[in-house]
Amino acid sequence: MKPTKLQWEDVIQFEEVKGYGQHIWRDGNHLYYVDEEGGIAPQRVVYKLPNELFALLESGERSLLEISWKIKHDRWPPTEEEKKTSEKQFILKGLTPLIANPKSWELFTQEELERL
């Protein structure tokens, strides 16, 4: 999702949804997620928070971190298995990471290592 044009000064006039450390705000029927973004001089950025994502957060099915990722990347964060698969694919493109980092050997079975 793209950030809204709302500024922090606009959002603080809304009702803060308690329990989320000033990240979730309500204006009538609309919910907003606020986060700091940027490197040296971070700024608060405001996103619309769909009701269905808020429901997942409230139910405990998803964490605030997962909801934040979904809002910013329009997909859920990768699972541990997906991370391993991605890392494995990166290594298979060129074996230098495999040679340079013996810890990456853990991603492969003994048979796969022998084949490589």
Task: Give the residue extent of every domain in the chain.
Answer: 8-73, 80-115
User: In the chain, what percentage of residues exceed pLDDT 70?
Assistant: 94
> Is residue 31 very low, low, confident or very high in pLDDT (cuts 50, 70, 90)?
very high
Indicate the average pLDDT of the chain. Answer: 87
Can you give the pLDDT at residue 82? 87
Residue type, 8: W
Q: Can you tell me the distance from the alpha carbon of 111 to that of 116, in angstroms, rounded to the nearest whole number?
A: 9
Tens of pLDDT, residues 47-75: 999 999 999 999 999 999 999 999 999 99
3-state secondary structure of 64: helix
pLDDT at 87 over 70: yes
Of the chain, the end-to-end C-alpha distance in Å amounts to 40
| Gap between the Cα atoms of 23 and 87, Å rounded | 32
> Looking at per-residue confidence, does 81 or 110 come out higher?
81
Instruction: Determine if residue 19 is left, alpha or beta; phi over 0 gives left, psi from -120 to 50 gives alpha, anything else beta.
Output: left
Cβ atoms of residues 17 and 61 within 8 Å: no
Residue 19 sits at the vertex; the CA angle it makes with 15 and 75, to the nearest 5 degrees, is: 90
For 44, phi then psi, to 5°, come to -80, 135
Q: Backbone phi, then psi, for 92, in 5-degree steps?
A: -70, -20
Model confidence, pTM: 0.70
